[in-house]
Amino acid sequence: EYPHVVPPVSFPDVQHGEKHRNFLRKSPSSFSWDWGPAFVPAGIWNPVHLVYGQEFYLSDVDVTTGRNDTGVSSWNVKVVLDFVKLTNRGELPEVTYTLKPIITGVKHPEIHSNIIRFRRKGKDDVIVVTLEFVASDIEVWYPRGYGDQHLYNLTLKAVTSHGSYCESTSRIIGFRTVELNQDKLDGDGNQRKFEFIINGK
């Protein structure tokens, strides 16, 4: 529910109850133009595999980075790991992590601090890991033509407390800030800039 009206407010019967196609990144022709039926997004889009004989499996990983300039300048990496328990035994796994630069010759950043929180999402368990790195230890990413595209390999490993099962995953991440500059143009109060500022430049 939204605190305001979200158009459209009426929906053709041929769409079979599917609403707000403007929220989906699909071609408008998927929603019944005058020449075709309504095919809403559906189907299997990832590889199918059978999971068995394990205490848990890692169903999803979400990684975001952000700059923190309060106090000591640092980069924060927030990792959200969704676990699905397959048995009733044991506790949530312990999570370890490493961050290594992909480009040779770049120093390995040291973890300044880390915070691990546990929460529930429906029937599943969620572990939120927040890592903090000193900004001077990180080589930032720039668009092509403006600087180097420094990337890092973030590896996470989940191990049960009794060490009987382990699962690991990795993500390639970069560090950069993006700002939209819409300051007024000099000499014209009705015109504004529209430019992206990457890493303050």
Residue 117's pLDDT is 72
Residue 6's pLDDT is 80
* Closest-CA residue to 170 (of 156, 180, 184): 156
Residue 16's pLDDT is 61
Walk along the chain (201 residues) and give the pLDDT tens digit of each residue. 678 888 777 776 766 666 676 777 777 777 766 666 666 666 777 788 787 767 778 888 899 999 987 767 889 999 888 887 766 655 667 788 888 888 766 677 777 667 677 666 655 678 888 888 888 889 999 999 999 999 999 988 888 777 777 788 899 999 999 999 988 887 666 788 899 999 988
Residue 15's pLDDT is 64
- Residue 92 CB contacts under 8 Å (≥ 6 apart), including other chains: 83, 118, 125, 127
Residue 112's pLDDT is 64
Structure tokens at 50: 């059978």
Residue 103's pLDDT is 72
- Phi, psi torsion values for 22, nearest 5 degrees: -65, -10
Could you tell me the pTM of the whole model?
0.68
Residue 201's pLDDT is 86
Angle at 152 between CA 150 and CA 157, to 5 degrees: 175
